[in-house]
Amino acid sequence: MYDILPPNELLAVLLQLRMDILGSSTTKIIRWTDDVQSARQQVTTSLQNLAYYLALRQHDLRQIQNSLRVYGLSSLGRSEAQVLANLDAVIVTLATVIDSPSDQIPARPSPDDFMSGATQLNDETISVLGEQPQNRTGYIMVTLRTEQGQDVEFVCEMLNKGMNIARINCAHDEPMIWKKMIDTVHEASQMTGHPCKVAMDLGGPKVRTANIKYNGQSRIYRNDIICLTRKNPKKYAKKYVALNCTLPNVIEWVDVGHDVWFDDGKIGAVVETKSEDSLMLRVTHAAYKGDKLKVDKGINFPNTMLDLSPLTDKDYQDLDFVVQNADIINYSFVQTANDISQLHQAIQARKPKSQPAIICKIETARAIHNLPDIIAKTSAHYPIGVMIARGDLAVEIGFERMAEMQEEILWICEAAHIPVVWATQVLENLAKRGRPSRAEITDAAMAERSECVMLNKGDYILDAIEILDSILCRMADHQSKKSAQLRQLKSW
């Protein structure tokens, strides 16, 4: 519990907080807005607000929050989109109540000042994700399966159920297939009258399993040894489960004691010994009945600084097609502002017919740390969104931190007035098996606080789209970002 501040003391604390925010945000504002080109001048105020929000959240505000609540004043807990206007309104109202004549009191913000952040977020959302859906505020992005994505009747059904953005993963298939899928989406969009953007994921330097050899057993159990090697796995398969990976140089950067996770965290291990060509991994996490590890499953190294470019040779080849055909580029494994510069140079070298939107996929702790700079660098050139790529991110930062970081990314992006895509395992059981778990229904409802929710492919994807559409429509009446809408309750 925190002591409640007397009104005069609370006013003094709020005025000092305002001075601190303006002072400590100056350096960031100058550095970020220097990058903004004339074509993207509208993002300058958004970057200013982001700098104000970061400065605000350097303070522990719990005593202030409790004190404001006791006096019946608006708290600072919903100030993301308009930090200074929210703070100024609280200061002016408090000063009026206690009849303080201080010349430090700012002018009362106008209603337009309060709504400007939400308006800018809405404008950037449309720039990135396309025309607003008719019956709800949130968008639905759906990953296309190769066969379904070339079936115009099936894509029409997806659009009629509520799909707004079709996602193509460049880690699979090839340009000829991608072109057929895109043409199918455009044809289905014309047939149904439902607009639909095309988003294409660059594969990035995703480390994946390859050439797995089992040592007579078909599953991996706790305390088993896995040999990750550059050599032929057959050499080790008599004693261990042995495999290669798609980026063999990773073995050089991993040290003894580092964690290694396979298949989105299904199997966890720790490096026990290391040689020039191999890592011996002791399995620490696996199902009681064992887990089957297959080829082309992801490998994560959360303790290891991987010296990898976010754009691989394949990505550069794929960009020749993507730049000319995609409305949105989903940028995998972006971690720094320099990574944005690298993509920008690659796009401009290919002379796009129109500037694509960029959605930065946040998948590592390093990306989280650099998120404000990533936002600033990207928004200088492109309409920008952020994807919370919860599969890799949960493994990289630890599952227990996932919910907390998910919230913080939402706050940062709202402060920057940019849309968020809530991704990975949304209604996964429903999409793949035809029946949702109770927990994933709640997860889908919570996803309404983002601007877009991504569904992955599955045999029951039409059911998943329809149910997600219903959930998002219902929740929009109750919640907008962190604010309860207080719609009339009808159950009692």
CATH of residue 419: 3.20.20.60
Residues 479-488 pLDDT 10s: 888 887 788 8
Distance, CA of 157 to chain centre:
27
pLDDT given for residue 40 in this prediction: 64
* CB-based contacts of 235-238 (< 8 A; 24+ apart in sequence): 236/278, 237/213
> Residue 197: its pLDDT value, please?
98
> Which pLDDT score is estimated for 487?
84
Q: Which residues pair with 309 in a beta bridge?
A: none
Of 109, 144, 175, which residue sits at a domain end? 109
Mean pLDDT of the chain: 93
d(CA 241, CA 232): 12
Same-domain pairing of 190 and 231: no
Mean pLDDT, rounded, for 83-92? 95
Banded pLDDT at 489 (limits 50, 70, 90): confident
Q: Which of 109, 137, 159 is the last residue of a domain?
A: 109
Among 487, 490, 349, 482, which Cα is nearest to 75's? 482
Q: What would the pLDDT profile of 140-182 be if each residue is shown by its tens digit?
A: 999 999 999 999 999 999 999 999 999 999 989 999 999 999 9
Residues 228 and 255 in one domain: yes
Nearest to 269 by CA among 277, 278, 261: 261
In a domain, 119, yes or no: no
Task: Quote the CA–CA distance of 7 and 67 in Å, as a whole number.
Answer: 8
Whether residues 448 and 361 fall in one domain? yes
Specify whether 26 is located in the same domain as 49.
yes
Stronger pLDDT, 463 or 30, i.e. the higher one: 463
Distance CA 394, CA 398 (A): 5
Output DSSP code: residue 39: G
Q: Roughly what angle, to the nearest 10 degrees, separates helices 175-192 and 152-161?
A: 60
Q: Is the domain of 136 the same as that of 213?
A: no
Residue 117 lies in a domain: no
Do residues 325 and 166 make contact, with C-beta atoms less than 8 angstroms apart? no
Do 82 and 230 fall into the same domain?
Answer: no
SS3 of residue 267 by DSSP:
strand
User: According to the model, what pLDDT value does residue 9 have?
Assistant: 95
| Six-digit token string for 365 | 């702790």
pLDDT at 422: 97
361 and 241 share a domain? no
- How many structural domains is the chain composed of? 3
Three-class secondary structure of residue 372 per DSSP? helix
Residues of the domain holding 216: 209-300
Q: Let me know whether 277 and 314 are in one domain.
A: no
If asked whether residues 224 and 198 sit together in one domain, one would say no
Looking at the chain, the whole-number percentage of residues with pLDDT higher than 90 is 83
Same domain (yes/no): 352, 457: yes
